[in-house]
Amino acid sequence: MKQNFFSIVHKNFYVTLFPKHVALSLCALFTSIFLIHATHLEAQIGSGTGSPRDTDPERATDFLSQYWDEAVKRWSHDIEALEQRDVDQRDPKDAILFIGSSSIRRWESIETDMAPYQVVQRGYGGAKYSDLAVFSKRLIHPHEYSALVVFVANDVQGKSEDHSCEQVEECIRHIIKVSKAHRRQAPIFFIEITPTRKRFPAWPLIRELNARIQQVSSSLPTTYFISTAEHFLDPFGNPRDELFVDDQLHLNNAGYEKWSVLIRRELDKVLR
């Protein structure tokens, strides 16, 4: 009704000033401009407050919106600390970029364990694929890496807030897209989630997620899955506690040594 009223008023206004055919053309032109501007303004306002955060290009990705606020609230400080490392440290040439959760962050011997590969270590404790997807550009784009290695183990813990395989797959595909947009030729490796004593009740669900990650990896070019789980299970199918620290969740030195052998072997197949 408002649009019709606007059109009538403007038509009568221009008719009083110009010949009828000129007035109608001017009326149509300015009415179109008004409607385009109104539509654009409405899209900007949307349902939010119009803050810079709400118009962030990453947030505009529909599926990321459900994870955005929690990720920013919980992890902004950690991501900012990693970004400061990007400022303070120069990446080695042709380095392997490792991103992910606490097993990446706690890997103190990564440089020696992964030699002769040069590494850039950008892990933060408790990461899930959902928040890794939210922060993917900030974690990935500052680096000129020769390969990307990803390990995240917190999306499935046997809790009500666990993410589904479908949700994790969507996040993984987004991370792959971000990496390929930045370093198209760089291969991407996803490390299998490790079986641990602490989360072993959820192991059947974690195995399903591992299978999904492997399926996604094998379906895309230059994307690979690093199988590790069987090496952390004893002959009876139980976690090898001697490879973990006392919390029975994180690797100890022996665990990292075994992990690094498995990771290097897969990197060698592709990069050498």
182-207 pLDDT, tens digit each: 999 999 999 999 999 999 999 999 99
154-186 pLDDT, tens digit each: 999 999 999 999 999 999 999 999 999 999 999
Q: Is 228 helix (H, G, I), strand (E, B) or coil?
A: coil
Nearest residue to 209 via CA among 169, 261, 178, 250: 169
Residue appearing with tokens 């591992």: 210
Residue appearing with tokens 């109104």: 38
Pick 63 or 251 by higher pLDDT: 251
How large is the angle between the packed helices 203-218 and 165-182, nearest 10 degrees?
A: 40
pTM: 0.79
> What pLDDT does residue 40 have?
41
90-106 pLDDT, tens digit each: 999 999 999 999 999 99
Residue 225 has φ and ψ, to the nearest 5°, of -115, 130
Residue appearing with tokens 């291969």: 187
**Helices and strands (H, E) in the chain, number of each type:** 10, 5
DSSP β-ladder status, 119-123 and 188-191: unpaired
* pLDDT of residue 138 exceeding 80: yes
> What pLDDT does residue 62 have?
83
